[in-house]
Structure 1
Amino acid sequence: MPAISAGNSTRQNFQSGSGEVSSRTGNSDHPYQPFISPEKHLYSMAKKARASHILVKTEQQATQIMKRLADGEDFAAVAKRFSGCPSGKNGGDLGWFTKGQMVPEFEKVAFEEDVGKVVGPIKTQFGYHVIKVTGKD
């Protein structure tokens, strides 16, 4: 199961099988450490990303979906059942896209988060997303 992050300012990671919760606020003396990561720099250089998502109307629904995923439910199965986007029938897969093709909030997650990471809720003009980053190129 991939790591899962909450999309709010307290962003937490739920590590697979460990039951541990770790804050993304960082434990470093550097004031910007929570926002700096060598991996993030490499991913921000990616020209293409691939992601799947689950689109719902409310933050509460997205939070409930995050819990289902943290409890081990399959992302594609949850997308097929709950997503309000036509991509839901394909397990939420949006395919490959380049920068500028998605709304900024979605693009930021797709290009900055690690492959395999599930992040949400992310609010956009379309509703609330739970996003799984599935590739970088």
Structure 2
Amino acid sequence: MLVVAYQGARTPKQNIFYDKSGAEKIAQKLTDYARRKGIKFSDLINQFTDLPQQSKLPLLSAKQPSLPDFLKPALKLGVGQISDPADSPFGYLIFRRVLVELVTASHILITYEGVLRATKKRDRKEARILAEQLLKDLKRGKDFAELAREHSDGPSGPKGGDLGRFTRGQMVPEFDQAVFNLKPGEVSGVVETQFGYHIIKRIK
């Protein structure tokens, strides 16, 4: 989402020079330019938006009961399409709809001393051996959620390792690549990240 603010709009940016009419003209010019072949919308956001922390919207649904009217144009777009400027309390909004890849997954996390948020006093070798043993147990038919509750060092452990639903890019790169390469129901090998060793199960 690209925002073109005007005087009086709710934006933390200082020195907004456009009045509402001027901002509307700028927003329309940016929209026309964004629709040209070969133009990267993300580059326009980086260069022109007046509300950078809102460049990405959460997942929107027409079923959301309190969805503001100024966000509704985004729901009418096809993937890759760019909206006309929509007036809002923050200025004129220009939306581009992107394809969002979603997964639901669980994991077992084995930490060791030196990783981020380590919770156990074990070394890297010990952690790897434990992770490999748990992977063998899973291949023998042990229940993933049960093993996660018993052995996972992550905060999702008590929930059977359940991480819920998330999009591509939300997790660290090694985890992200592993989970999106799995098919629903599949379990990864041992994956190392800055948090330790993971065994990942894709649910959906």
The TM-score, its normalising length taken from structure 1, stands at 0.63
Asked if 1 retains the 8 angstrom alpha-carbon contact of 2:179 and 2:188, the reply is no
Letter of the 2:154 counterpart: C
Alignment correspondent of 2:107? 53
Letter of the 1:53 counterpart: H
Larger fraction in strand: 1
Greater relative CO (CA pairs within 8 A, separation 6+): 1
1:90, 1:107 → 2: CA distance? 21
Asked if 2 retains the 8 angstrom alpha-carbon contact of 1:48 and 1:98, the reply is yes
The TM-score, its normalising length taken from structure 2, stands at 0.43
Matches within 5 A, 1:1-137: 47-57=101-111, 58-135=127-204
RMSD of aligned Cα (Å):
1.3
Larger Rg: 2
Between Structure 1 and Structure 2, how many residues are aligned? 91
Letter of the 2:197 counterpart: Y
Letter of the 2:104 counterpart: R
1:50, 1:119 → 2: CA distance? 14
SS in 1 for 2:141: coil
Unaligned runs of 5+ in 2: 1-98, 112-126
- Deviation of the 1:50 alpha carbon: 1.1
Letter of the 2:190 counterpart: P
Q: Which runs of 4+ in 1 moved over 3 A?
A: none
Identity %: 48
Alignment correspondent of 1:20? none
2:159, 2:203 → 1: CA distance? 14
CA deviation vs aligned residue, 1:85-111 (integer Å, no higher than 9, x gap): 010111001000011210011111111
